[in-house]
Structure 1
């Protein structure tokens, strides 16, 4: 499969999910930025956190497409996703999880800002260290 076809498939998938102006590259960049924010101590509220996690879900929809997984042209981007997944897993609490469809949805940050910490305590009874 050539790059043009892969790009078109990604574009079609993202358009189907309501994100026609995004690309796999832009999503991977956003995932990397978000993971970096979380490593520094996520300083926004939980609803914003959940909204930003949608980027990883969109990436997953693309990666799960059989035409994409059969392609070698996205190898470097897939490695970047895996690298950031590993970084993100390192800053999630090992003992606490919440309900969610994917591992990133179920994860609870080790440390974050006041609003995230307060939400986790009130909604789930989970202690999150404040930054």
Structure 2
């Protein structure tokens, strides 16, 4: 690994540990987590609303990485930002077809996908009074 790439990965790991994400602390690992979550949502997320929001915290972490000045200055930041954007595009499409929910500040918090498993549908119904389609 080149010196520049090492700086990117080291900073990423530092940010992951600082955020309490010790189990997955590489750029590839976090992108895979984000993509797997989006895939789960496409198929009808079946956890509870609490679990959904916990997994959604990966996106909040990724935003912190994208906004970090050290990361932004690294040559790898272009590749990383493009991957986040690619996955975000898929998630935005799911949210656009979904429902608005109160309380979110970021775009990924203000809506939820319209298709869900039974657990998620029940959680959302109980919490927001919104009916989701069951996968």
TM-score (norm: length of structure 2):
0.87
- Paired residues in the alignment total 131
2:122 maps to 1:118: yes
Runs of 4+ in 1 over 4 A off after TM superposition: none
Q: Distance in 2 between matches of 1:54 and 1:94?
A: 19
Aligned pairs (5 A) from 1:5-24: 5-21=7-23, 22-24=25-27
Contact 2:98 2:115 in 1 (8 A): no
- CA RMSD, 1 decimal: 1.7
Aligned pairs (5 A) from 1:96-111: 96-111=100-115
* Structure 1: gaps of 5 or more residues: none
Contact 1:96 1:126 in 2 (8 A): no
Aligned pairs (5 A) from 1:1-131: 2-21=4-23, 22-92=25-95, 93=97, 96-131=100-135
Q: Distance in 2 between matches of 1:54 and 1:96?
A: 18
Q: Distance in 2 between matches of 1:61 and 1:77?
A: 13
Kindly provide the CA deviation profile for residues 25-70 of structure 1, in whole angstroms up to 9, marking residues without a partner as x: 2110100111011111112211111111111111111111011112
TM-score (norm: length of structure 1):
0.89
